[in-house]
Amino acid sequence: MQTNKLVLASSSTYRKALLEKLHLNFICAHPDINETAAANEPPEQLALRLAKEKALALAAEYPEHLIIAADQVAMLGQSQLTKPGNKQNAIKQLQQSSGAEVKFYTSVCILNSSTSEIKSEIDLCSVYFKALNDRQIKNYIALEQPYDCAGSFKSEGLGIALFERIQGNDPNALIGLPLIKLISLLEAFDIKILE
């Protein structure tokens, strides 16, 4: 039985839906942080740092909670793919990703705000895109409008049709919250999912 108070440090509807899969009681709160990468910061370090900063940003407001935070950095070669925000940027991202591998570094951390103990993990997932033509890209974007998704697709939806294959340990990580790693971290804080 869950006794800890949980906070998901996110305004993402995708992360909220993923955490709901675990049948935990939690609330959502929006952390206000600067998500700019430091100079020459590797993607895995950026993802881990941002997740920790999100959790720490809510510690004063939720002083006796376990705060769960996550972040995702998508990389096409040496270029970071952010949320496109609009149709033109989404088309451009998918044109660049056509026939290529995009790596997604998805971090998760838990902060015990009453003890300041923090634990974190990172998940790496590689997405291999099919060679896409402009008609396929435009049709996909018209159907799903993935403007709030890094990489311009929703793997849990029709975005799966854009891929040759996915290589990773947890399909949830690609959506924004690596549940397998999160469950392990929760167990380290004495929250057992099936007990």
Q: How many angstroms separate the CA atoms of 132 and 106, rounded?
A: 25
- How many Cβ atoms are within 10 Å of 101's Cβ, its own excluded? 15
Is 32 among the catalytic positions? no
Q: How many angstroms separate the CA atoms of 78 and 51, rounded?
A: 21
The active-site residue, picked from 32, 71, 134, 190, is: 71
Q: How many angstroms separate the CA atoms of 38 and 127, rounded?
A: 25
118 contacts: CB under 8 Å, gap ≥ 6: 52, 55, 109, 110, 111, 112
Which positions are annotated as active-site residues? 71
